[in-house]
Amino acid sequence: MNAPLPARRTQNARAGAQTQAAIGLGDLIPILLHEARRYQVVLTSIFAAIALLALLVGLFLLPRKYVATTSVLAQESDILQPLLENRAVSTQAVDRAGLARQVVFSPKVMRQLLAIGGWMDEKPSVVMQDRLIEQLRDRTVIKSARKDLVQITYTDNDPERAYKVTSAMADLLIEESLASKERESREAYEFIDKQVNDYHDKLTEAEGNLQAYRSANADAQPGSVTDVSTRIGALRTQVEQTRMSLMELRSREEALSAQLSGESAVTAVQTRENLYRTQLLDLQNKLDTLLLSFTDKHPDVVRIRHQMADIQDTMKQEELRSSQPRTGDEASEARVNPLYQELRSRLADTRREIAAIQSRMGASEGLLGDELGRSRRIAASESTLAELTRDYEVNRDIYQDMLRRRENARVSMQMDKERRGLTMRIQDPAQMPVRPTGLRFMHFALGGLAAAVAVPLGLLFLLARFDPRVRSPSQLERQGHYALLTVVPRYRTPRDRRRELMRMAVSASIVFAVVLAYGLVYGYKQMNA
């Protein structure tokens, strides 16, 4: 009775493991040769299939990568920069690669590159254009070899298109960079010019407000505070000095009054003519003293002149009377005390000076009050005046600064218009790539041949190594533990020999066909190169 199927599989597996353990290296090589002759058509077919598949993939499906590179040099003007220092703004050589990426990867430049590369000939849709732009960006590498040199590298499967696109990238980078710089300087000038006009209007308005306020307020003039403070200080000093002088004169008045009360008005007898002459001399002395300080129209001067005129008239009348005979009573008269008259005269002068000083002090106090009122009015208007003045000064400073900046922007705009400040040129122009980069067809073909040889040999080794059948006499002796007396070789009939020759012919034809195909493709490649 036969064993169940799982049991048979287990026995076969155990027998295979014992067979594998029994096969040695000396037996393995004859077995491999035998199996190779037996399955030579299958092995050569596998070899041909893998080799031709690798050839076809390398010929038609292997992506070819052609790389084109160009370099753009950006230099500042070494002559204009020191001449226009602090007068013009020039482009700084900072992160040129980043700026180049922004320019080249912009939608405008990308669409121009699509047209130059021929992608737009098929009129792709908007979505397809976006995909082409993404692929174009992925195949483009922009880096900065040094701070003033930008290197652009583009990879494509068409060498002519790689050359055109790379050259166009360099040209468009230079064109767009210079145009962008010129546009930027022009926009900066227009913006600053607009700001200058705005601040000119603001300055005019602030100046008008300040002038109108000063016209409406007479005290709101420059330096009014200083003038009022100086005037108040002078008036206060004058009032203090006048007050001290008044106190001094009043003390003198009290002393003269005390001295006058102790003197007699008459001390001796004298004629009226002598008395009048003495009075006239006193009045003349007082008049001379007053004329040193006052004019002829002063009340005291006018009064003394009237007194002197009256005394002179009296003296004339007395002379007329003296020419007539006099009686005894008229010849004898009382004589005035000179000290009394002097004290009386000084007292009158002191009282007159007291009155004048009081009048001056009243006038000074009035002026001081007016100046204090003016100071209060100035203090009340000082905040408004300060705000108006501050607005005017701020607008004036900003306006003057904007004028300088506008002139600097004008010079910068003219430099960019004439392309004097920044010079960009192609340092290394792009070259037409003649050989692809990376894994080429020759490498792929050689790899295909190696795989075509390795795969059949590997399959043959697996077949000989893991087949559970007995394939050598020594293996049988080791498995059965019996001595082997003889080995009967296989007898090949003429039909077997014809089949073997046929298999060899077919295998040789297949190998020859593969070699011929590789030779033809290699010759075609050389002719195209």
φ and ψ at 221, to 5 degrees? -115, 155
Give all domains of the chain, ordered by start, each with its CATH number: 19-62+439-528 (no CATH), 66-197+406-428 (3.30.1890), 224-386 (no CATH)
Neighbours of 417 (CB within 10 A): 11
Task: Collapse the DSSP code of 152 into the 3-class scheme (helix H, G, I; strand E, B; otherwise coil) and give the result.
Answer: strand
Distance CA 14, CA 7 (A): 11
Amino acid at 22: A
What residues pair up with 161 in beta bridges, in sequence order?
none
What is the reported pLDDT for 467? Answer: 67
**Amino acid identity, residue 375?**
S
Tens-place pLDDT, residues 66-100: 888 888 887 655 434 443 444 444 444 456 777 78
Both tokens of 242, joined, read 């006048």
Residue 317 corresponds to which tokens in the numbers above?
Answer: 């009348």
pLDDT tens across 216-233, in order?
666 656 666 677 778 888
**How far is the C-alpha of 219 from the C-alpha of 213, rounded, in Å?**
10
Region of poorest pLDDT, from 227-231, 303-307, 320-324, 417-421: 417-421
- Residue 521 gets the label, from left (phi > 0), alpha (psi -120 to 50) or beta, of alpha
Rg over CA atoms, the chain: 66
DSSP string, 280-345: HHHHHHHHHHHHTTS-TTSHHHHHHHHHHHHHHHHHHHHHHHHTS---HHHH--PEEPHHHHHHHH
> What pTM was estimated for this model as a whole?
0.44
CA-CA distance, 356 to 316, in Å (whole number)?
35
More confident residue, 414 or 323: 414
Which is nearest to 398 in space by CA: 162, 202, 226?
202
C-alpha of 473 from chain center? 92
Exposed / middle / buried, residue 410 (Cβ in 10 Å: 0-12, 13-18, 19+):
middle
Is 39 strand, coil or helix? Answer: coil
What is the C-alpha to C-alpha distance for residues 291 and 283, in angstroms, rounded to an integer?
12
| Beta bridge mates, 66 | 156
**Once rounded to an integer, what is the mean pLDDT over residues 474-481?**
65
Pull the structure tokens for residue 401. 């600064």
* Predicted confidence band of residue 326 (pLDDT cuts 50, 70, 90): low
Return the number of other C-beta atoms located less than 10 Å from residue 217's C-beta. 16
